[in-house]
């Protein structure tokens, strides 16, 4: 998609350049002056940085903010190589394209050389036409040809800067996606804790019901035990009858102990479930606070994306 930009730029007419060199967000030309200071970082709350050019003895020097050296070198080779009549050569850190074609610069194929330097601000590109160019078929003054070369380099720099900001925008969108995924994970964790709390509450209700039932059974068994004790005393004169009555009494007492043990266990479980509910409530409260912070961070990230999109739209 990026190379479609190059084709459109290549076919643009020369007069457009004169309309694009004014304003804060458009490239500014500095003739025979040192390059102005470059912003180290483009704040997201400010418009796009200006693309500045410096002309020194026929050389065009342009700084492409945020760009990466390898990307610029690769794209420049395609840019100057489009429709060329000659081969390219690279030596001593310079890239030369022989027989380059651009009718705004010259009706004849021409030779153009570029040097690239990676800086903390982006990539600095120095471009010049080789000394052995013969512009025999053009009647344009050299000054017009210089302006055409400026536009040629300027348009490339604009495209590269836009692509760099697109990369920034993609990274910001990926960051937002990761933040949203993290928020979804938090919501699931809250749902899981809430579900566990609900299950613990149901277990407590069930245990309390069991305790009530067991207590009723204990009372009934206690009454049976007292009655059976009377039976033991009544059958004291009959050893066989006493033996059977005592066996029944022991079984009733065992049943009572078993019921009491069940209630003790239910009470222990209720304590565990209650502690678990308290832990779940802490998890839910902490999670909701994290969710609120995460949602706020996502909204801030959305604003960053809007500002980067605005920056992209302001590059001219």
Q: Which of 133, 167, 201 is the last residue of a domain?
A: 167
Domain termination site, one of 111, 135, 167 = 167
Based on the fold, state whether residues 11 and 144 are members of the same structural domain: yes
CA distances from 2 to 6, 113, 123, 258, 305 (A): 7, 22, 18, 81, 21
Which residue's entry shows tokens 């007069």?
Answer: 15
Average pLDDT, the chain: 84
Q: 167, 200, 217 — which closes off a domain?
A: 167
Query: Is the domain of 141 the same as that of 181?
Result: no
Domain co-membership, 33 together with 163: yes
Mean pLDDT of 13-29: 34
pLDDT band for position 193 (cuts 50, 70, 90): very high
Q: Which residues pair with 91 in a beta bridge?
A: 94
Q: Are residues 155 and 289 in the same domain?
A: no
* Residue carrying structure tokens 């909701």: 288
Number of H helices, E strands in the chain: 4, 7
- For range 311-316, the mean pLDDT: 91
The H-or-E segment that residue 99 falls in is strand 94-102
What pLDDT digit, counting tens, does each position of 118-142 carry? 999 999 999 999 867 766 555 555 6
User: CA torsion sign, 70 to 72 to 73 to 78?
Assistant: positive
**Spatial separation of the C-alpha atoms in residues 230 and 158, rounded to whole Å:** 107
Q: Residues 226, 83: one domain?
A: no
Task: For residue 43, give the CATH number of its domain.
Answer: 3.30.530
149 and 14 assigned to the same domain = yes
Please indicate, yes or no, whether residues 106 and 231 belong to a single structural domain of this protein.
no
CB atoms within 10 A of CB 70: 11
The alpha carbon dihedral of 32, 34, 39, 40 has a sign of positive
Closest C-alpha among 6, 11, 14 to residue 147: 14
| 292 and 310 part of one domain | yes
Tokens of 24: 């804060």
- Give the chain's domain count: 2
Q: Are residues 58 and 86 both part of a single domain?
A: yes
Cβ–Cβ under 8 Å, residues 272 and 280: no
Same domain, 126 and 232: no
Model confidence over 249-303: pLDDT tens digits?
899 999 999 999 999 999 999 999 999 999 999 999 999 999 999 999 999 999 9
Assign residue 277 the CATH number of its domain.
Answer: 1.10.287.620
Do residue 139 and residue 199 come from a single domain? no
- Domain of residue 65 covers 2-167
Domain identity same for 104 and 32: yes
60-89 pLDDT tens trace:
999 999 999 999 999 999 999 999 999 999
């Amino acid at each position: 998609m990026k190379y479609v930009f190059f084709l459109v730029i290549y076919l643009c007419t020369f007069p457009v350049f004169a309309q694009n060199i004014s304003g804060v967000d458009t490239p500014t030309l500095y003739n025979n002056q040192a390059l102005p200071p470059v912003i180290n970082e483009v704040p997201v709350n400010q418009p796009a940085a200006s693309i500045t050019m410096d002309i020194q003895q026929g050389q065009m020097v342009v700084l492409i903010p945020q760009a990466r050296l390898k990307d610029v070198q690769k794209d420049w080779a395609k840019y100057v190589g489009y429709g060329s009549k000659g081969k390219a050569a690279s030596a001593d850190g310079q890239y030369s394209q022989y027989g380059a074609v651009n009718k705004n610069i010259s009706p004849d194929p021409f030779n153009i050389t570029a040097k690239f330097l990676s800086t903390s601000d982006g990539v600095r590109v120095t471009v010049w036409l080789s000394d052995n160019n013969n512009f025999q078929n053009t009647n344009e003054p050299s000054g017009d040809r210089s302006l055409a070369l400026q536009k040629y380099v300027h348009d490339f720099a604009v495209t590269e800067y836009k692509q760099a900001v697109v990369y920034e925008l993609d990274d910001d969108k990926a960051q937002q996606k990761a933040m949203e995924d993290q928020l979804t994970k938090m919501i699931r964790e809250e749902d899981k804790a809430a579900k566990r709390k609900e299950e613990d509450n149901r277990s407590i209700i069930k245990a309390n019901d069991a305790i009530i039932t067991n207590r009723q059974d204990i009372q009934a068994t206690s009454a049976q035990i007292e009655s059976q004790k009377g039976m033991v005393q009544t059958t004291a004169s009959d050893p066989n009858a006493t033996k059977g009555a005592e066996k029944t009494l022991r079984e009733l007492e065992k049943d009572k102990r078993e019921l009491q043990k069940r209630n003790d266990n239910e009470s222990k479980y209720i304590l565990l479930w209650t502690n678990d509910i308290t832990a779940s409530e802490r998890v839910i409260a902490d999670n909701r606070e994290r969710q609120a912070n995460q949602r706020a961070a996502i909204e801030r990230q959305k604003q960053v994306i809007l500002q980067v999109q605005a920056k992209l739209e302001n590059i001219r």
